[in-house]
Structures are given as structure tokens and as C-alpha cells.
Amino acid sequence: MFLRELRNPLLEPLGDSAVFRPSDGAGPRLAFSTDSFVVKPRFFPGGDIGELAINGTVNDLAMSGARPLYLAVALILEEGLAISELERIASSIASAASAAGVTVAAGDTKVVERGKGDGVYINTSGVGIIDDGLDLSPSQVRDGDQVIVSGTIGDHGMAIMIARGELELELDLESDTAPLNGLVATLLESVDGVRCLRDPTRGGVATVLNEIAMAADLAVVLDEAALPIRPEVNGACEILGIDPLYVANEGKLIAIVAPADAGTAIAALRRHPIGEQSAIIGTVTSEPRGMVLLDTAFGGSRVVDMLAGDPLPRIC
């Protein structure tokens, strides 16, 4: 609906950020991104809504190849929120911004009546610079490219599900929320053949790869045995009947890399503290166009569909 109303060349690619050069010719290209955070609960193992809100926009900018520079933070507070909670969140926003090396340059606060919000919702938007010559996009993806994930999948989504206490599961599992801009810098310094980056948040790895396959008009074949998944996440997924490929991540990236560069890229990623478990999980092929397939551990093959609807509201 919004795309139909607002149709324009910057919005239509539906990437993680809009990319533009603000002045014709002079000055660098900028990436500009926005995201609202409504995660429930707002404090969870491994992070909170404040840290998530900073990392989320930092990561969207980083996926465009931008160096994130300036963030704006806007809060919608529900009347009755304890000041001590807001203080924790403010402090967490400050630490996360500092850890990611970004400046919170602007902000806004609104208050709504009790029952018209849920404690706090946070919107972050951000601006970053893209170095000249860098063009990360699904249109750069080629047959034979390798698909890399920077670590274990499904940690954030499963940590949130467990933290809600609605499941009869007790697990020591933390969200992977982390800023990815340092990892991206490491990757881009190591090889020239990075085609495209995406962070598999809502909808997980499956959704991001489907989007890339469709945009590139190519296929992705995943190797189930190569997917890095924590045993506890795998176990919880099996009990709940959820496919970890669809579970949200908040500190992982998917990189599509030229075949000749994949080994060097993996080595570089693994040297970074948040990339130690990076793995090649699949290959880009020419057929079946626009689709993602999974070669299962049992030697079969199945289609990894685009997910219809939102499996888990308020995961971020």
C-alpha cells in the first residue's frame, strides 16, 4: 500500500537503507534508514530494547556498505513507565552507541496515556557514508557465488520466545544483538568480491535469502549440515515445530561472496570476535530462479519458501 502511494526510485529497491548522494556530484553517497522497536519483553537475556534499537539501525546502514555515523532516537513512552526503567534504557542506548562508534545526534520523546502503549517503543533512524566504488546489491549476485552466515542462527528470536515465559521451556539462551559495522569493515577490507550483505532479522535467514534470490533472479541452494545452529536453539525449534531458518537474528549477517573470495572472507570473519562461527552455508545457482532450496542432512532437497505473515510479533 505504501509503495503504491509513495513509489520512487529510492524506496522501490526495499533495501535495508535508502542510498543517495545529497548534492549532485559533490560529496559522498549516504545511506539513510529507519526502524521502530517494539520488542516484548523490553529487557531480555543478552540485551534490551535500547541496545536493540541502536544495533538495529547501525546494522541496516552497515548492510548497505555504509559506515554508520549519526543516529536519531525517538521514544514513545507510556504513562506510568518507571523512571528507573527509562534510566536503564537511556544508559543502554548510550553504551550501544558508544560500542558501535556512532553519535546520537537528535532525539524526540512523546508520552501517551496508560493503555495506549507498552512501556516504551523506540524508533531509530540513521545516516552513514558509503565509500565510492562500493556497490552492494542483489543485482551484483552471480551464479556460483557463495553464501556466508557470520555465526549461529536463530539466537535472538529463540531468546525472546523463551524470555516471554509463555513456553514451558527453560533454556540459558541469549540474544545475539550486536553492531555489525565492525564485522562489515573487516569483511570489505579482506576481499573485493562481496556482492551483497543482509542482516537476517524478522523472518530469519530464509526470508533474506528468498528476497535476494528473487531480486537477483537466481537460486540459492543451502546445505543443511553446514548451518551453524546452537544445540539448544535446535532443540527448542524441534520441540516447538519451528524452522530455525525463519527465526530472527540481531547480530548476524548474510554475505554473498564471489567463489574465489569465499575462503579469504571466512578466514577474515572468523578472526573478528562476533564472526568466529562464520560458515559457508550455500551456493548461488541459476535454477530454479527466485527460489531457495535446502539440501537436507538426509540427502533430500526441499524448498525453503518465503514466509507468509509474521510468525512472531514484536520480536524486535
| Residue 102 near residue 68 (C-beta atoms within 8 A) | yes
By beta-carbon proximity to its own copies, the closer residue of 69 and 99 is 69
Of 47, 65, 117, 251, which lies in the binding site for its own copies, with binding defined by CB under 8 A?
Answer: 117
* Angle between helix 181-190 and 49-63 (nearest 10): 20
Q: Is 110 in the site for its own copies (CB under 8 A)?
A: yes
- Is 2 near its own copies (CB under 8 A)? yes
What is the rounded distance in angstroms from the CA atom of residue 66 to the CA atom of residue 150? 18
Tell me which of 41, 99, 129, 214 binds its own copies, using CB under 8 A. 129
Rounded to whole angstroms, what are the CA distances from 53 to 191, 250, 273? 30, 10, 21
Least separation in angstroms between CB 64 and its own copies: 11
| Residue 10 makes contact with its own copies by CB under 8 A | yes
Phi-psi region of 14 (alpha: psi -120 to 50; beta: other; left: phi over 0): left
The nearer residue to its own copies, 46 or 119, going by C-beta atoms, is 119
Which listed residue (80, 101, 109, 276) binds its own copies by CB under 8 A? 109
Name the residue nearer to its own copies (CB basis): 15 or 151.
Answer: 15
- Among the listed residues 177, 180, 244, the one whose alpha carbon sits nearest the alpha carbon of residue 33: 180
From 32, 152, 153, 255, residue interacting with its own copies (rule: CB under 8 A): 32
CB atoms within 10 A of CB 232: 15
Please say whether the beta carbons of 137 and 196 come within 8 A: yes
Q: Is 134 in the site for its own copies (CB under 8 A)?
A: no
Q: Which residues pair with 303 in a beta bridge?
A: 293
Q: What is the x/- site pattern for its own copies, positions 213-252, by CB under 8 A?
A: ----------------------------------------
The answer to whether 91 contacts its own copies (rule: CB under 8 A) is: yes
Residues facing residue 109 across a β-bridge = 75
Q: Give the residue, chosen from 104, 215, 307, 312, that forms a contact with its own copies under the rule CB under 8 A.
A: 104
Per the structure block, which three cell numbers stand in for 147?
553464501
Does position 105 interact with its own copies (CB under 8 A)? The reply is yes
Q: Which is nearer to its own copies, 50 or 154 (CB)?
A: 50
Which residue number, 24 or 172, has a Cβ lying nearer to its own copies?
Answer: 24
**Residues numbered 39-78 forming contacts with its own copies, rule: CB under 8 A:** 69-70, 72-76
Determine whether 2 is exposed, middle or buried from the number of CB atoms within 10 Å of its CB (0-12, 13-18, 19+): exposed
Q: Which residues, at least 6 apart from 251, have a Cβ–Cβ distance to it below 8 Å? A: 55, 59, 151, 155, 156, 175, 176, 177, 178, 179, 180, 274
DSSP-assigned beta bridge partners for residue 255: 148, 197
Q: Which residues contact 5 (CB under 8 A, 6 or more apart)?
A: none
Nearer to its own copies, 85 or 295 (CB): 85
Q: Whose Cβ is closer to its own copies: residue 20's or residue 267's?
A: 20
Minimum CB separation of residue 270 from its own copies in Å reads 32
Q: Which residues bind its own copies (CB under 8 A)?
A: 1-2, 5-6, 8, 10-11, 17-18, 20, 22-23, 26-28, 30, 32-38, 69-70, 72-76, 83, 86-87, 90-91, 93-94, 97, 103-113, 115-118, 121, 123, 125, 127, 129, 310, 313-314
